[in-house]
Structures are given as structure tokens and as C-alpha cells.
Amino acid sequence: MVYQHIGELYELYLLGALDREDSAPIQEHVKQGCPRCLEELREAALSVYLLCQAVRPVRPGPQHKTQLLRRLRKK
């Protein structure tokens, strides 16, 4: 898969929406740590973040935070 083609797929890669045939070469390419890839991934992550914001905020249960912090303090 040529680089330009891979670069177009980063959003779907981050969403886990690609099949193995498309995701495996990306995984291999990303491992090489090229700076251009990191930039493209960062841009893709912005789009993924934006898509994840299309929801209404909901407060967790009143005890949730207390229980979480208690659990962390015991670690």
C-alpha cells in the first residue's frame, strides 16, 4: 500500500474500522516512527475526538467518584 493511501485511512484505523488487510500495513508503517505519520495520526485523532463529542454529557452516579478515589488511594 503506498504511503499516500495509508495516510487517508488513519481515522478509520484509530476507530478500529479497518479489516486486517488494511490495518496491518498501517501498524507496520507506524512502528517505524516516521514524523510525517505522527502528524497525520495526530490530525486523525482530532477528527476522532470531534466525532466522540457528538454526545450529551451525563453525570455519573453520586458515589462513583468517591469509590474510584478510594480504590486509587489503596493502590
Helix 20-31 × helix 35-52 angle, to 10°: 130
Could you say which residues in the range 20-49 bind another protein, by CB under 8 A?
A: 23, 26-27, 30-31, 33, 36-38, 41-49
Q: How far apart are CA 6 and CA 62, in angstroms?
A: 44
Q: How far apart are CA 58 and CA 74, in angstroms?
A: 27
Asked if 65 interacts with another protein (CB under 8 A), we say yes
Mask for 3-22, x = binds another protein (CB under 8 A):
----xxx-xxxxxxxxx---
State the nearest-atom distance from the C-beta of 66 to another protein, in Å. 9
Nearest to 26 by CA among 56, 2, 55: 2
Residues at the site binding another protein, with contacts judged by CB under 8 A: 7-9, 11-19, 23, 26-27, 30-31, 33, 36-38, 41-61, 64-65, 67-69, 71-73, 75
